[in-house]
Every structure is written in structure tokens, then in C-alpha cells.
Chains A and B, each alone.
Chain A
Amino acid sequence: MSNPVFDRIRDDITSNDVVLYMKGTPVFPQCGFSAAVVQVLTHVGVKFKGIDVLTDPSLRQGIKEFANWPTIPQLYVKGEFVGGCDIIREMYQSGELQELMQTKGVSTNQAA
């Protein structure tokens, strides 16, 4: 079954190493949870593509179905869903997020 929104999502998450589906933009987040993930990624020093779901209702709904995850933000690394705000924050605090980036070959500003 082909869903044009899913095709677009697949395209975005495979053509960019790190993608954050969020409310608002990295510069002007429209939600505290999205802002928190932007802050974490900035701290880790990872380049990412922010995609604003508020500009597109079909994407806002589609991304929830795509990941089987009912909330936004959603972080993808190398095409794989990693988690939402709570998970990213926990992984950052424990160092797992930085580890994941290194394992996946995504460059960060932190020494190994």
C-alpha cells in the first residue's frame, strides 16, 4: 500500500542523517518538548534537519502513523526512529545519544 506522506517521510529520513519532526522550526520552536530536543541536539553538536509538522496537517498525522508513535517531536537517525522528547533527554543524560551518533557515524562536537 503506497501512502504519499509515508513516501515523503522515507525520503526525508534516508536522505538526511538526522531528522527531527517538530512543531515550529529549530530557530523558533512552537512547543516546549520540541524546543528541548533542539537544545539537546545543539549541545551534542549534531547537524540535523528540522521539519515543521505544523505547516502540513497530513504530515502531522502521517508521521504519527508512520512511527506508530502518537506524539511530536520525533527524532530519526540514519532512517531509524529513536524516540520522542523523554527518550532523547534520558539518552543524552546517560551518554547513550552521543554513543548512538558515533556508532551510526554521525559527527558530533564531542570527543569519544
Chain B
Amino acid sequence: MGQVADRLEAKLRTAFQPEALAVIDQTNEHHGHAGWRESGETHFRIEITAAAFAGKSRVERQRLVYATLADDMNNPVHALSLVTRAPGE
């Protein structure tokens, strides 16, 4: 995994102590798209299962994730696709 992916994963682990977490670099699938950079690590998909999401709406869940990763949003991360689940979902 690249540096950015490692950093995103570390921040999410600290903030949510997730039951399951996958940070997937999809930059190569967006070759040449807006926001894509030669250096890579601009487009990610994150799948996260954490107790913190229980009883929260999709919007609330994603806001929590975005807030945790705020320093990385826009630069270097251009696009983030999120799947957020509470345990048992």
C-alpha cells in the first residue's frame, strides 16, 4: 500500500476502532480523469464497519469519516467512495 493509503487507514483505525476496514486505491481506474495525478493515490474506496455508525444515517456516517480524513481531502485525495456499515449490517 502507498503512503496515503497507510495514513488514511491509520487515522480510521484510531478514530473508529473498526471491526472491518479496507482502504482500496482505485487511482489506476481513473487514469487521466480530473484530479488524477501521476504520483497516484488520488482515488480511493473505503469500506468500514464500526460500532460508531450504529443508529446513524448514511449522511451522518459519511460526515464522520470525512471529518476524520479532513486534512487529506482535496489534497492529496481527490475522490473517495465510501461504504459505511454498523456491525451486523
A binding-site residues for B, Cβ under 8 Å: 23, 30-33, 68-71, 81-87, 90-91
Please tell me which one of the listed residues A23, A71, A90 contacts residue B58 in the complex, with CB atoms under 8 A apart.
Answer: A90
Q: Is B1 an interface residue (CB 8 A)?
A: no
Cβ of A84: which chain B residues have Cβ within 8 Å of it?
62
Docked-complex contact A32 and B59, CB < 8 angstroms: no
User: Is B52 close to A, CB under 8 A?
Assistant: no
Interface of chain B residues 50 through 67 with chain A (CB within 8 A) = 58-59, 62-63, 66
A91–B57 alpha-carbon span in the complex (Å): 12
Q: A70 contacts B82, CB within 8 Å?
A: no
A6 to B83, CA, bound (A): 29
Assess whether A71 is in contact with B80, with CB atoms less than 8 Å apart: yes
**B residues neighboring A (CB under 8 Å):** 30, 33-34, 58-59, 62-63, 66, 70, 73-74, 79-83
Other than the given A69-B59, A86-B62, 20 more pairs (CB < 8 A) read A23-B34, A30-B34, A31-B33, A32-B30, A32-B33, A33-B79, A68-B63, A69-B62, A69-B63, A70-B70, A70-B73, A70-B74, A71-B66, A71-B73, A71-B80, A83-B58, A85-B81, A86-B58, A90-B58, A91-B58
In the complex, which of the residues A23, A70, A83, A86 contacts B81, with contact meaning CB atoms closer than 8 Å?
A86
- A85–B82 Cα gap in the complex (Å)? 9
Q: How far is the CA of A32 from the CA of B79 in the complex (A)?
A: 10
Q: How far is the CA of A70 from the CA of B75 in the complex (A)?
A: 12
